[in-house]
Structure 1
């Protein structure tokens, strides 16, 4: 019993830090968005968060939601644009200098952002000061850098054979952290106002910083001479991750199509959080913060179950990464249509269940692309993926925060046409992934170049293989 526990414990690396980071982040962002909603609905901060729900108007979409949606867009830009720059500059650097710093900096930046938000609330400062908190978090890397470093770390210590499974577990930590964070944040805010949850976020992010600094061991770095990047050539080499998609190889076209399809899919996935909260606060739902927290928690929990349990099962049955991606996109399309047409609370709570398999999409894309590159290029690859996700978040926020108020009158019984639009926009990436699957029916077997394949398994992968063989 104890030996079994020690064996599984030895597999744990950055998973707890990623879980806690996402827990704090997704307790913070809904809290911040609801505070902005309260500001525009009441004209001042109210310690009783439920007061904000009484301010919703009876129109298809209130001016409060429109103002909230637009401010959230600027708030998103204040963090993701500098975050993109920081990730681009430091992602390639981490291939030669290690991943820990790139996990520590975003944790410190997120804690700074939470402190600024707490001060804005407690001291009733101008709400625009929140943009400074987002800017500070972005300059230190934001969530994109933390995720990039975590995924690169796990890719460093895992073989191509087990990488999809390992990255799936890591992706599950994101979703489970989001689940508990949004659930705890919603209930805590409803019962105690904004102050205590802000303190909870700050403490959580400080714990993340301590875990990264004192517990996580630096991953072994490749020793090849070509791995070192000179200072003179550094500004050129930061774009190396994007060149990985265009370097000559038999799979170059597939890589580019996967990247383009990932862009389309991510834009629609990342738009949900910005639009869903104002949507559920208005007609016909008028949900309060605790109900929204339950809904977000259920969605993230189902995505986590998909990445942690369903994905390994499908891979064990012989399905390829590309096939799992297609199944996940179809699941997401159906859930978006249901959300756009739903008029009752119980129907809305069916949406995360229908969209469960969406949780397989991102880990499969990451794992598939990582098999195209060498071990000393993981940082550059995941950095470029993080940049793509950041840009997609900005594009999604720009498009859908404006599309939501503009399309609210199209459906007479609700204002959820924007979700049906998202579902339709997922058709192009679905077709692109289908094309990739047709080009490489045995995609997982041929996507790893000879010079990229591992000669053997890492220590953690041997333990992982042993654990999967246990009765």
Structure 2
């Protein structure tokens, strides 16, 4: 791409050129040619591969430490009255809590800086940083599994990943890149295609990971996750086409990024736009809290009595849950001509509620898969992850004695709140002039 001549739109004053950062200059010189979807696909594949893998590894390691004999990769467990099983469930849930909370507190600082920063310097730097963070986390996991180090070192990998933006920043940057290059008429469908990429990658990772763990153990699947993230990082650095047309130099460590978040809600806006934005964010927060919370504990639920799933069934269960991304794409394609986005969200939430209700009472494999088919999965959020891990990982061991499925039942009732919010917001739309200015 030829640089604009002086006086043309986008041309820079020569005196301003030295103020550009090295990253922004390289981004402008090499814009790349590839879309962002492969980065999101590869990162999601790695993340879904590692999620059940890490939980099962914790279950196996902690079970061996307390002398529980139901930790075989092939499945099999004791009756729920076995106190050692409940101890393993509690320990595994707590270590998941420690890992995710530590990642949240670091990520809350880094993501707030990196998000607004990418609006100026471009999406590529954040995609590279977040991919590198995920890569470092896998390296730590491989070292822990290979050397049988204390499981507390897994928290270190989580912190390193969060410091560089975590998966949340990568996914947000991916969706922002799609928004940069799409129009108002194509944006919903483009976002649905992105979600379909998440679904396909999750299904492949779930099935492959489940069978691989059963056949060869925990170490080799982590190596595949490592290779996948190396590919994603190289693609982001050298192939991805930058979607920000004119990247500018911007300092990273500045309070301006925090002020920009505050001004989003404090700046004057037409009509009820600020109130609507806050309520939509509340709805998103609740949806993601339930999503992250149930995702944390569902593998524990499947490993223990009465399901006693092995690695292969856990993989199939993960794949079935990610099938909902493809269902979401079909839903958008079928309904976008006759339903508005908010009503499509209501349909998705209804399926979510039904799925979680089924999970809460599931005692057989068939019911678990039926619940997975009703689940519709949304995108990610750091604050929702903190609430999810804090509530659900603490609630799960506390309710083992009277109802193991209680967290899923609670999640189903929580999802009624965003369903009501979205319905009410649809009835009281912002003024038309706000919609025009937003688009």
TM superposition score normalised by structure 1: 0.80
Residue of structure 1 aligned with 2:182, choices 158, 165, 180: 158
Quote the residue 1:307 is aligned against. 328
- Counterpart of 1:336 in structure 2 is 356
Seen in structure 2, the aligned counterparts of structure 1 residues 272 and 205 have a Cα distance that, compared at 3 Å, is same
Structure 1 residues 12, 161: CA separation in 2 closer, same or farther (over 3 Å shift)? Answer: farther
1:374-405 superposed Cα distances (whole Å, 9 cap, x missing partner): xxxxxxxxxxxx6xx11111111111111112
Change (3 A) 1:260 1:246: farther
Q: Which one of 296, 307, 311 corresponds to residue 318 of structure 2?
A: 296
Cα distance, 1:222 vs structure 2 = 5.6
Residue deviations 1:255-306, cap 9 Å, x none? 12111111122111111111111111111111111101100111102x2212
Residues 209-358 of structure 1: pairs in structure 2 closer than 5 A:
209-221=233-245, 231=251, 234-247=254-267, 248-250=269-271, 251-301=273-323, 303-316=324-337, 318-355=338-375, 358=376
- Equivalence map 1:366-405=2 (5 Å): 389-405=381-397
The 3 A distance-change label for structure 1 pair 232 and 346 is: closer
CA distance in 2, matches of 1:117, 1:44: 22
2:65 aligns to what?
43
> Are residues 1:131 and 2:155 paired?
yes
CA shift for structure 1 position 426: 1.2
Q: Residues of 2 paired with 1:417 and 1:74: CA distance?
A: 21
Q: How far 1:310 sits from its partner (Å)?
A: 1.7
Q: CA deviation at 1:131?
A: 1.2
Give distance in 2, aligned partners of 1:87 and 1:435.
Answer: 31
1:173 shift after superposition: 1.4
CA distance in 2, matches of 1:232, 1:216: 22
- From 426, 430, 433, the counterpart of 1:437: 426
CA distance in structure 2 between the partners assigned to 1:246 and 1:169 by the alignment:
33
Which of 208, 212, 224 aligns to 2:232? It is: 208
Are the counterparts in 1 of residues 107 and 162 from structure 2 also a CA contact under 8 Å? Answer: yes
**How far apart, in 2, do the equivalents of 1:166 and 1:111 lie?**
27
Q: 2:399 aligns with which of 387, 397, 407?
A: 407
CA contact (8 A) 1:90 1:102 kept: yes
Q: Is the 8 A contact 1:342 1:348 kept in 2?
A: yes
Find the counterpart in structure 2 of residue 146 from structure 1: 170
Deviation, structure 1 residue 234: 3.7
Structure 2: tracts of 5 or more residues without a match = 1-31
- CA–CA separation in structure 2 for the residues paired with 1:183 and 1:447: 48
Query: Secondary structure in 1 aligned to 2:190?
Result: helix
Distance 1:231 1:17, change over 3 A: closer
Q: Map 1:3-152 onto structure 2 (within 5 A).
A: 13-43=35-65, 50-51=72-73, 53-54=75-76, 56=78, 58-59=80-81, 62-152=86-176
Is the 8 Å Cα contact of residues 42 and 55 (structure 1) preserved in structure 2?
A: no
Partner of 2:20: none
Secondary structure of 1:104's match? helix
Instruction: Structure 1: give runs of 5+ residues left out of the alignment.
Output: 1-9, 363-385, 454-471
Structure 1 residues 326 and 242, CA gap change in structure 2 (3 angstroms): farther
For the residue of structure 2 that corresponds to 1:238, the secondary structure is: helix
How many residues align structurally?
Answer: 403
RMSD: 2.6
Q: Flag the 1:148–1:242 CA change in 2: closer, same or farther, 3 A.
A: farther
| Shift in CA distance, 210/150, structure 1 to aligned 2, threshold 3 Å | same
Assess, with a 3 A threshold, how the Cα gap between structure 1 residues 315 and 151 changes in structure 2: closer, same or farther: same
Deviations 1:419-454 (A, max 9, x none): 1111111111111111101112xx7x948644443x
Instruction: Write the deviation string for residues 233-268 of structure 1: whole angstroms up to 9, x where unpaired.
Output: 941233413532443222222212111111122111
Q: Say if 1:17 and 1:433 are closer, same or farther in 2 by CA, change over 3 A.
A: same
Are 1:56 and 1:64, in contact at CA under 8 Å, matched by a contact in 2?
no
Residue 245 and residue 187 in structure 1: after superposition, are their counterparts in 2 closer, same or farther (change >3 A)? farther
- SS at 2:389 equivalent: helix
Contact 2:73-2:310 at 8 Å conserved across structures: no
CA distance in 2, matches of 1:277, 1:96: 40
